[in-house]
Amino acid sequence: MSETDTTDAPETEAESTEPELLHGCVVGDSHGQTVVFPTREQYLDLAKALADDGYVMVVDLCGVDYLEYMDRPLPAGVTAERFEVVVNLLDLANRRRIRIRVQVPEHDATLPSLFDLHPGAEAFERETFDMFGVTFTDHPDMTRILMPEDWIGHPLRKDYDVGRIPVQFKGSPS
């Protein structure tokens, strides 16, 4: 066998640790469900490609604050950020489900909106903005949906002060 012939050569360590990719994004598994980890730049293109693959329904879109869990396990090549946006999609025709987990940095908590592709994501994105402060660019109505418009802060962030509202019971001394 010549030095350039590698047909029977054993797999090198670098080759065996190559991450699985789907539409150019790292793929993982969570309890038998496919999980795709795009970068923010790949996010919208991945969502479009998955829609073309049959994933036509957004079941859920939510935010996660990993302020105190930055060392969480992620696939090789995925850099942990404070925030993560998780999107669950369904392919109704083929009875398939897929999850997207995109890392969003604290210093620039923005992500493109899925509204033009999946109009049903509108309320989910507003809720994620309201509770975590992740802004979805090109969203038609990026306003609060749960908290009053004049509310300060984002209540589901791990560094949000719990606070309290005093309760006055009828007939109790002031």
pLDDT digits (tens, 9 = 90+) for 104-160: 999 999 999 999 999 999 999 999 999 999 999 999 999 999 999 999 999 999 999
Q: Domain 18-137 in CATH: superfamily? A: NADH:ubiquinone oxidoreductase Nqo5 subunit (3.30.460.80)
Residues 6+ away with beta carbon under 8 Å from 49: 23
- Give tens-digit pLDDT for 24-72: 999 999 999 999 999 999 999 999 999 999 999 999 999 999 999 999 9
Number of C-beta neighbours around residue 124 at 10 A: 23
